[in-house]
Amino acid sequence: MTTLKSLPTRAGSRILSVGAARGDRLVPNDELVGPIDSSDEWIRQRTGIATRARVSDGSEAVDLAERAAKEAIERAGIDGSQLDAVIVSTISNTVQTPSMAALLTERVGATPAPAFDISAACAGYAYGVAQADALVRSGMAEHVLVVGVEKLSEVVDPTDRSISFLLGDGAGAVVVGAADEPGISPSVWGSDGSHWETIRMTNTLGSMRDGAPWPTLRQDGPTVFRWAVWEMAKKAREALDAAGIEPGDLAAFIPHQANMRIIDEFAKQLKLPDTVAIARDIETTGNTSAASIPLAMHRLLEEQPELSGGLALQIGFGAGLVYGAQVVVLP
Amino acid sequence: MAFTKDEVLAGLADLVNDETGIATENVQLEKSFTDDLDIDSISMMTIVVNAEEKFDVKIPDDEVKNLKTVQDAVDYITGAQA
């Protein structure tokens, strides 16, 4: 029998660079409190959010993705034509098909690289990094662009007190490339569809066809909080074990920027030493779902460039429910 | 060993104090968590998870919204003990 050829595999992959683009306008709490009968203090106390970045200049999600991607490509020192795959994690594509990734691939000069979107909400970026790591290590790609991008201002309801006031717009991008030793640990990822409705859209495309209003996002906040802290803390520990490291080996902790209270309690549960920098981009950017981890990484590295080369635990979690975590060497 | 209602109340008061800084003597049976003690839903969930560990009981998410007063919580926890 004929034996099929296989590609030579690689010892590792790593994040070479990160790029970011945020909505052009920082919307303060005071602009949102009226319809939810709330106050700046109420929002800050429950979420740690002072502003959220939202698009006001007409940019679409793919425009944000392009800006972040071009920065990441430039910082990686490569040309778009050297990308062997483009992965976009988003819930903000404007059409069911074609993918945002195919359009982005064309815009960054990477055509004919394979391109696809991932629908994994706030875990989407971590899912994308898991895919990119596997593609590079398997020999199928040398450089992979992973973008997390959202324009969540499209799915907010000004009268909703569950999640709308958290949400922002932005894109974060990384280029994952080949490395002589592992720069991305084995990913710990999964799903739990028994909680499919815990974070959800208010109605379906079919119901809109029959006259239902534009769909917006909702969540069961306390249930999500319990899952996001105590269940995800277990997954974070699994990711550290999979990487073969202890919390004290970390330079940074970059969780999905869902809510400052989740971040604070999560860090407490992990017993992170004071030496670990904790990403808190949410205070000004808000919750940008798939974009939040790379955006937070970008800010951390701008503010504390000495973290470059250190280890960061990144974990995404959200609607599905789905989660993904890995330890990465910071670019 | 099962906890008595007095022990559950005292333990719960400690957990409320840890999370919110509210003095333990103010955590009284007739007090409402939201209206009297001004505990928000996120703090309530933190207290619930810590109570599960402290008293070795399970408090499902669906039950949490029924725990309106300290008395409700004490009754639920003592009733849920194996």
**Any alpha helices (H) in chain B, and if so which ranges?**
5-20, 41-55, 61-64, 70-80
Domain containing A202 equals 188-329
Q: Domain boundary residue among A179, A208, A239?
A: A179
Domain membership of residue A7 (yes or no) is no
The total domain count for chain A is: 2
What local confidence, expressed as pLDDT, does residue A13 receive? 98
Catalytic residue of the set A29, A143, A287, A298 = A287
- Domain housing B22: 5-80
Residue in chain A lying closest to B19 (CA): A265
Q: What is the pLDDT of residues A204-231, one digit of tens each?
A: 999 999 999 999 999 988 889 999 999 9
- A269 and A201 in a common domain: yes
The answer to whether the CB atoms of A226 and B41 lie below 8 A apart is: no
Q: Are A106 and A237 within one domain?
A: no
List of chain B residues whose C-beta atoms are within 8 Å of the C-beta of residue A46? 40, 42
Which residue in chain A is spatially nearest to B46 when comparing CA positions?
A: A226
Which distant-in-sequence residues (6+ apart) come within 8 Å of A191 by Cβ?
A: A320, A321, A322, A323
The answer to pTM > 0.80 is yes
Which of B41, B48, B49 has the CB atom closest to A221's CB atom?
B41
CATH number of the domain within which B43 lies: 1.10.1200.10
Say which of A29, A93, A143, A256 is annotated catalytic.
A256
Nearest Cα to Cα of residue A259 among A23, A44, A34 = A44
Residue A249, chain B, CB below 8 Å: the answer is no
- ipTM confidence: 0.83
Domain boundary residue among A161, A179, A197?
A: A179
- Is the same domain home to A147 and A198? no
> Which residues 216-245 of chain A have a CB within 8 Å of chain B?
220-223, 225-226, 229-230
Enumerate the H helices of chain A as residue ranges.
40-47, 61-76, 100-107, 124-137, 205-209, 221-226, 232-243, 260-270, 282-285, 292-303
Is residue A90, in this structure, part of any structural domain at all?
A: yes
Q: B82 pLDDT exceeds 70?
A: no
- Quote the pLDDT of residue A222: 86
Output the domain CATH number for residue A245. 3.40.47.10
Residues A152 and A24 reside in one and the same domain: yes
Structure tokens that stand for A32 in this block: 């949102």
Q: Based on the fold, state whether residues A195 and A172 are members of the same structural domain.
A: no
- Residues of chain A with pLDDT below 50 are none
Domain count, chain B: 1
Q: Provide the shortest C-alpha distance from residue A258 to chain B (in Å).
A: 13
Question: Is B26 near chain A, with CB under 8 Å?
Answer: no
Q: What is the pLDDT of residue A46?
A: 87
- Which residue out of A122, A143, A259, A298 is catalytically annotated? A122
- A247 and A270 share one domain: yes
B59 touches chain A (CB under 8 A): no
